[in-house]
Amino acid sequence: MPPLLDATAVQNLLRSFLAEDLGAGDITTETTIPPVQRALGEVIAKSPLVLAGVDLFAEVFHLLELTASVEVVYPDGEELKPGDIPARVTASARALLTGERVALNLLQRLSGVATLTRRFVRAVEGTGAAILDTRKTTPGLRALEKYAVRVGGGKNHRRDLSEAVLIKENHIRLAGGVSAALTAAQTAKGQAGWIEIEVTDLDELRAALPYDPDVILLDNMKPSLVREAVSEVRRHSPPGKIRTEASGGVTLNNVREFAEAGVDWISVGALTHSAPAVDLSFEIEPIG
Which residue in 84, 196, 219, 245 is the catalytic one? 219
| 26 and 115 together in one domain | yes
Per annotation, catalytic residue among 26, 76, 84, 198: 198
pLDDT at 3: 54
Q: Is residue 183 part of a domain?
A: yes
Residues 104, 85: Cα–Cα separation, whole Å: 13
Give the CATH number of the domain where residue 18 resides.
3.90.1170.20
User: Do 282 and 240 belong together in one domain?
Assistant: no
Residue 82 amino acid letter? P
- Which pTM does this prediction carry? 0.95
Tell me the CA distances in angstroms from 216 to 115, 122, 123, 238, 262, one per residue in order. Answer: 28, 24, 23, 14, 13
pLDDT at 5: 72
Helix (DSSP H) and strand (DSSP E) numbers for the chain: 11, 12
Same domain flag for 243 and 213: yes
Predicted confidence at residue 240, as pLDDT, reads 83
- Residue 55 annotated in active site: no
Residue 244 sits in a domain whose CATH number is 3.20.20.70
- Tens of pLDDT along the chain (288 residues)? 455 578 899 999 999 999 999 999 999 999 999 999 999 999 999 999 999 999 999 999 999 999 999 999 999 999 999 999 999 999 999 999 999 999 999 999 999 999 999 999 999 999 999 999 999 999 999 999 999 999 999 999 999 999 999 999 999 999 999 999 999 999 998 899 999 999 999 999 999 999 999 999 999 999 999 999 999 999 999 888 999 999 999 999 999 999 999 999 999 999 999 999 999 999 999 998
| pLDDT for res 138 | 96
In the set 65, 78, 79, 101, the catalytic residue is: 101
pLDDT the model gives residue 92:
98
Let me know if residue 144 belongs to a domain.
no
- Clarify whether 168 is annotated catalytic: yes
The reply to whether 136 belongs to the active site is yes
At 4 the pLDDT is 57
Q: Which of 213, 283, 281 is nearest to 245 (CA)?
A: 213
Q: Has residue 143 been placed in a domain?
A: no
Which position among 15, 46, 122, 168 bears the catalytic label?
Answer: 168
**Does 217 map to a domain?**
yes
Phi-psi region of 262 (alpha: psi -120 to 50; beta: other; left: phi over 0): left
pLDDT confidence of residue 176: 97
Domain around 19: 7-120+275-287
Determine the pLDDT at residue 49: 98
Are the CB atoms for 18 and 102 separated by under 8 Å? yes
pLDDT at residue 155, as a whole number: 98
